[in-house]
Structure 1
Amino acid sequence: MIRMLLRVLGREYAPPVRRTVALMTTTAVAEGLSYALLVPVLRALFGSTPGDAWTWLIAFGAAVAVYAALRYSSDLSGFRVGTTLLRGMYHRLGDHLARLPLGWYGKGRVGEVSVLASQGVLQAMGVIAHLLAPFISACVTPLTIVVVMLAFDWRMGLAALVAAPVVAAIQIWTGRSMAATDAERHERDHEATGRVIEYLQAQPVLRAGGRTLERFLLLDDSLREVQRASRRTVLSALPGVVGLTLTVQVVFTALLALGAYLALGGDIGAAEVLAILVLAARCADPLLSLSDIGGKLRGARSELARLDTVLRTEPLPEARQPIQPERHDLEFESVTFQHGDRTVIDDVSLSVPEGQRLAVVGPSGAGKSTLLQLLARFYDVDSGVVRVGGVDVRAISTEVLMERIAIVFQDVYLFDGTIEENVRLGRPDAGVAEVRAAATAARLDEVIERLPGGWAANVGEGGALLSGGERQRVSIARALLKNAPIVLLDEVTSALDPVNEAAVHEGIERLMAGRTVVMVAHRLRTVQRADRIVFLDGGRIVEEGSHEDLLRRGGRYADFWNISLAPAASE
């Protein structure tokens, strides 16, 4: 547990944890040793000169005061280190997530990381502030007391020592037996959370289809599974709790019987027996708390394991001596890329001269968007080379590559802030006049004029307070403000109404002017002005050429073009 915690924290944050663990261990030893002074205190009280107990009582009080000071220091250190490490862990996790390839972030992954970054980090780092001291005390203090008991009477100490391997075995067995139920509980919790979110987000569809009751039953089934998993978790923990309690009680009873036997035989004094029984009673409390602490530690350990998995995920390698491209032409040379077991791009070679426009069309699942992602190095290719300005993208630093590329996605995400803040993401240091000019070029000014608050209008989480076309205009304004020499467009008009489509087209034309462009589109009318068109199917280039050339050939592109014109002709 401690080893995994130190690995997750990293070298920078591990030393404070080691110091805190050492201080907590010292505190636990001091607590155990302070109880050793009970023996001379009881000897004096039960002896012929009870007044001599004052000296030992003062020594016992001093030892307790030292223990109290150490306990205060160790608890304070735990809270301070826990708070510092919580902040540091967020920074470390955030820095690592920022270096992971964007292709790593799937739909399920985003939800998993969001939960991990919130309650997961809190629970894992809470070990230091809340669980480490009680756990160390529950382990070290009883062992120290057993050593003290061995020093006063080896027979009583040896009898108490028998409990140590039994308690350790029970804890190990309980942890292993609960591993499966803990994993199942986490899985059921995750599934139930997804069902709740799904139920809330799907309300319009469910109500329109009259399926609300059915969906509620599905959610109810999921919650019942959580209840069953919780019950199994409790039942799995019960044998360990009962076993630990019985072990402690049996050992205490054995010590009581052994002490009475030795005292009656005259081998040991009544004071020593009483003191050892008091020490044994002090062992019982921390040992019995191990069940509760162990359950909390297992939960924290599972979160630490998930954190460790994320932090050990290798980011895309950065070039040791990055090269800065001087041109802005693009090239794919014999590129193959697999996603899982599926080959998405299969031996593709093509080039886009600087300042020209390439349109990529084809059926769904053909690999069109993947080409854009490889250009932006969301993934690394399995074989072949992707070049920008004649330089392999793997030899260009991520920062330099991103500076040269502006991307407009089909699904636009806006941060919960003002329109101006979202536009400025393209270039935060841009002047007011530049921001306004980009908005005008993207025809975003029309949206701003009719919104209450204008530029200060809040767009809501994910841009929920704007329509799809309005969000797209913000995205285009952001790309215009960035003023990057390479533009990647991914299905930017596929779901827009005619008014917004016309406005977005106008903004796109201004964005593409004088730049190297690769665009993916389903609506083939948007690609007519491209310098070259590539028809992709099954990850391979089936046809390529200009719009007129491809129509004359009467191949796949011509079929797609005729199909796209059919709805317009029927109207």
Structure 2
Amino acid sequence: MIATLLRVLGRDYARPVRRTVALMTVTAIAEGLSYALLVPVLRALFGGTPGEVWPWLAGFGAAVAVYAVLRYAGDLAGFRVGSTLLRGMYHRLGDHLARLPLGWYGAGRVGEVSVLASRGVLQAMSVIAHLLAPFVSACVTPLTVVAVMLAFDWWLGLAALAAAPLVVAIQVWSGRAMAAADAERHERDQQATARVIEFLQAQPVLRAGGRTAERFRLLDDSLRDVQRASRRSTLSALPAAVGLTLVVQAMFTGVLVLGAALALGARIGAAEVLSILVLAARCADPLLSLAETGGKLRAARAELARLDAVLRTEPLPEPADPVVPERHDLEFDAVTFRHGDRTVVDGVSLSVREGQRLAVVGPSGAGKSTLLQLIARFHDVDAGAVRVGGVDVRAMAAAELMSRIAIVFQDVYLFDGTIEENVRLGRPDATAAEVRAAATAARLDEVVERLPGGWSATVGEGGALLSGGERQRVSIARALLKDAPVVLLDEVTSALDPVNETAVQDGIERLMAGRTVVMVAHRLRTVRRADRIVVLEHGRITEDGTHEELLRRGGRYAGFWDLSLEPAHD
């Protein structure tokens, strides 16, 4: 398990982890050896010369003091290394998730990543801080005590040692027996987490349907599945716990009977028998804790394996010798992209000259937004090439590509901070004057003026304290501040009221000025001034031309345009 932990985190953490494990092992040996000093202490107390006990008591006290110091140092080292590993794991997992292609975030990933990034990481990284010391103590301290017993009387030592293979066998059997139950419990937990998130997100729909007083059946079913899986997991752990208790108690009873027989045969004295029983009791206690500690370690190992699987998922490859384009024109060269078994983009070829505005229209599911994502390299194409300035985006460094692109999506996500902090995401090193200028151009200053707190006003998680139009203005201000030469717009005004649509459209016009633009829109009034319009259907370009040219042809675009004008005739 330690090897898996180091593989997940990287070899930079190997030395402190190994040093901590070594310190915990020495601590467990010191604990066992301190118990060994009880033999001469009890022998002196119950013998004919009790005054000789003082040197042994002093030695026992010194051994306990050494053990206490080692235990303190070991626990402290475990907590420090554990917190370091936890911080390192969060950083590595976050960096890796940010590099994975968006296609990886499919159905079910929300629950999986939520559980993994919260409880999963904590459980896996708790091994060093909370579980390793008890586990090492449960394994090493009894073996040290048995070694002392073997040195004192080999019959008693062998009797105690006989339990070792049975304990190992029970732990192995328990791990195999609980593997399926633990896997089912984890799967049910993921499903329940996803259902809870779905339940929260579906509140508007449930309330609109008058179901606020009803229980959400899908969530109830998931929670019942979790309950059943938890019950099965608990029941599968019972035989191992009972078996381990029986073996340890049988070992203790065997040592007791054998010690009594040896005492009756005058091979050892009463003091020795009492000492052996004390040692056997100290050997039994940590062994009995193995069932609980072993179960926690199995759960942590399972979470660690899931973390390892996520971290082994290959991100989009970075070029060995990245190329930097000198222009900012765009080109799709026979591009094909598939999502699962579905072909989303099918052999698309088109070019956008530098400084030109291209509008992409078409029915829902035609692949319009996918074109934007392929330009930003959220996915890699299955065939063909996407080029920026004549350079394949796969030949560009990811940071270089993203520095040249500003993206404004329909659904804007804002972080739970101030408006200024969210705008600064476009360019963190911008001056205050540059931030204000971008906000003014996006007409965000109007929003700031009426908010209590102004620029220091918080937007809430996801921007919940702002309206959709206000969030969109923040997004446009962010893009303006970035000042990238390529702008991608995805359904920016489709869900805005007339007032916000006008303000956002003004900001977009400023954003598009002098830049290479690809925009996706359902409202055709926003695309009529584009230099070029393409109609996308079933992943293919079916029409291409200017607004006037496409209207004259009387094709699919003309039909869309007529439909967009119908409300004006009412």
Tell me if both proteins adopt one fold, taking TM over 0.5 as the criterion: yes
- 1:163 is matched with 163
Letter in 1 for 2:434: E
Q: Which letter maps to 1:86?
A: L
Q: 1:221 Cα shift?
A: 3.9
Contact preservation (8 Å) 1:367, 1:538: yes
1:156-555 aligned at under 5 Å gives the runs 156-216=156-216, 218-555=218-555
2:389 & 2:267 partners in 1: Cα distance?
92
Instruction: Give the Cα separation in 1 of the matches to 2:421 and 2:311.
Output: 31
Q: Contact 2:423/2:474 (CA < 8 Å) preserved in 1?
A: yes
Is the deviation greater in 104-113 or in 392-401?
104-113
Q: Which amino acid in 2 is paired with 1:160?
A: A
8 Å CA contact 2:115, 2:193 repeated in 1: no
SS of the counterpart of 1:557? helix
Structure 1 pair 91/195, CA: closer, same or farther in 2 (3 Å)? closer
Give the TM-score, by structure 1 length.
0.94
User: Could you tell me whether the CA contact under 8 Å between 2:535 and 2:557 is conserved in 1?
Assistant: yes
Moved more, 217-226 or 170-179: 217-226
The farther-off stretch of 18-27 and 318-327 is 318-327
> CA deviation digits over 1:341-365, x for unaligned, max 9?
2222222221111111111112211
Is the 2:111–2:191 contact (alpha carbons within 8 Å) kept by the matching residues of 1? no
**1:301 Cα deviation (Å)?**
2.2
Contact 1:344/1:538 (8 A) holds in 2: yes
Matching residue of 1:35: 35
What is the aligned partner in structure 2 of residue 563 from structure 1? 563
Q: Which moved more, 1:499-508 or 1:326-335?
A: 499-508
Amino acid at match of 1:147: A
Q: Aligned residue for 1:134?
A: 134
Q: Is the 8 A contact 1:31 1:64 kept in 2?
A: yes
Offset at residue 385 of structure 1 (A) = 1.4
Alpha-carbon distance in 2 for matches of 1:190, 1:170? 30
Amino acid at match of 2:561: W
2:195, 2:357 → 1: CA distance?
A: 44
Q: CA deviation at 1:110?
A: 4.5
Q: Distance in 2 between matches of 1:341 and 1:75?
A: 53
CA distance in 2, matches of 1:181, 1:214: 32
Q: 1:342 to 1:201 in 2, by over 3 A?
A: closer
Post-superposition offset of 1:218 = 4.7
1:125 has 2:125 as partner? yes
The C-alpha deviation readout for 1:368-423, integer Å capped at 9, x for no partner, is 11111111111112222111111111221111111110000010111122222222
CA contact (8 A) 1:426 1:479 kept: yes
Alpha-carbon distance in structure 1 between the residues aligned to 2:56 and 2:429? 72
Structure 1 Cα separation of the partners of residues 427 and 439 of structure 2:
13
Q: CA deviation at 1:439?
A: 1.9
- Residues 453-494 of structure 1: CA deviation (Å, up to 9, x unaligned): 333322221111111111111111111111111000111111
Classify 1:258/1:443 alpha carbon distance in 2 versus 1 (closer, same or farther; 3 Å).
Answer: same
Q: CA contact under 8 A between 2:199 and 2:216: conserved in structure 1?
A: yes
Structure 1, residues 540-568: CA drift from partner, whole Å, max 9, x if none? 22222222222233333233333333333
Q: Offset of 1:94 from its aligned partner?
A: 2.7
Q: Distance in 1 between matches of 2:73 and 2:436?
A: 57
Residue 150 of structure 1 corresponds to 150
What amino acid is aligned across from residue 67 of structure 2 in structure 1?
Answer: Y
Distance 1:91 1:539, change over 3 A: same
The aligned length equals 570
Q: CA deviation at 1:242?
A: 0.7
How far the C-alpha of 1:217 sits from its partner, in A, is 5.0
- Secondary structure at the counterpart of residue 284 of structure 1: helix
Q: Helix, strand or coil for the counterpart of 2:412?
A: coil
| Amino acid paired to 1:356 | Q
Q: Contact 1:336 / 1:345 at 8 angstroms: preserved in 2?
A: yes
Deviations 1:143-193 (A, max 9, x none): 111122222222221221121111111112222222222232233333333
Q: Shift of the alpha carbon at 1:102?
A: 4.2
Aligned CA distance change for structure 1 residues 458 and 56 (closer, same or farther; 3 Å): closer
1:189/1:14 CA distance change after superposition, 3 Å: same
Partners of 2:492 and 2:521 within 8 A in 1: yes
- State the SS of the aligned residue for 2:345: strand
Deviation by residue 1:277-310 (Cα, 9 ceiling, x = unmatched): 2211111100111112122222322322222222
| Identity within the alignment, % | 82
Displacement of 1:533 after TM fit? 1.7
Give unpaired runs (5+ residues) of structure 2.
Answer: none
Matched residues in 2 for 1:78 and 1:330: separation?
A: 54
**Deviation digits for residues 44-99 of structure 1 (CA, Å, limit 9, x no counterpart):** 33433333333333222222222222111111111121222222222222333333
Contact residue 329 and residue 354 of structure 2 kept, 8 A? yes
SS at match of 2:458: coil
Moved more, 274-283 or 18-27: 274-283
Deviation, structure 1 residue 137: 0.2
Q: Is the 8 A contact 1:424 1:430 kept in 2?
A: yes
Alignment CA distance shift 1:385-1:207 (3 Å): closer
Shift of 1:4: 1.9
Give the secondary-structure state (helix, strand or coil) at the position aligned to 2:37.
helix
CA–CA separation in structure 1 for the residues paired with 2:231 and 2:26: 39
Which has the higher mean CA deviation after the structures are superposed, 139-148 or 532-541? 532-541
Distance 1:333 1:195 in 2: 41
* Matches of 2:108 and 2:326, distance apart in 1: 39
Counterpart CA distance in 2 for 1:198 and 1:43 is 69
Evaluate the alpha carbon distance shift between residue 338 and residue 240 of structure 1 in structure 2; reply closer, same or farther with a 3 A threshold: same
1:561 counterpart letter in structure 2: W
Give the 3-state SS of the residue equivalent to 1:364 in structure 2. Answer: coil
Distance in 1 between residues matched to 2:566 and 2:107, nearest whole Å: 35
In the alignment, the residues of structure 1 paired with residue 235 and residue 143 of structure 2 have an alpha-carbon distance, to the nearest angstrom, of 29
2-side partners of 1:317 and 1:196: how far apart?
Answer: 35
Moved more, 110-119 or 489-498: 110-119
Q: Map Cα deviations across residues 222-251 of structure 1 (whole Å, 9 max, x no partner).
A: 333333222222211111111111111111
Equivalent residue of 1:13, what SS? helix
SS of structure 2 residue aligned to 1:452:
coil
Q: Secondary structure at the match of 2:77?
A: helix
* Matched-pair contact (CA < 8 Å) for 2:111–2:190: no
- The answer to whether the Cα contact below 8 Å between 2:108 and 2:191 also exists between their aligned partners in 1 is no
Report the TM-score when normalising by structure 2.
0.95
- Counterpart Cα distance in 1 of 2:499 and 2:68: 74
- Which amino acid letter does the alignment assign opposite residue 539 of structure 1? G
Counterparts in 2 of 1:451 and 1:108: CA distance versus 1, 3 Å: farther
Contact kept, 8 Å, 1:199 with 1:215, in 2: the verdict is no
Unaligned 5+ segments in structure 1 are: none
Corresponding residue of 1:74: 74
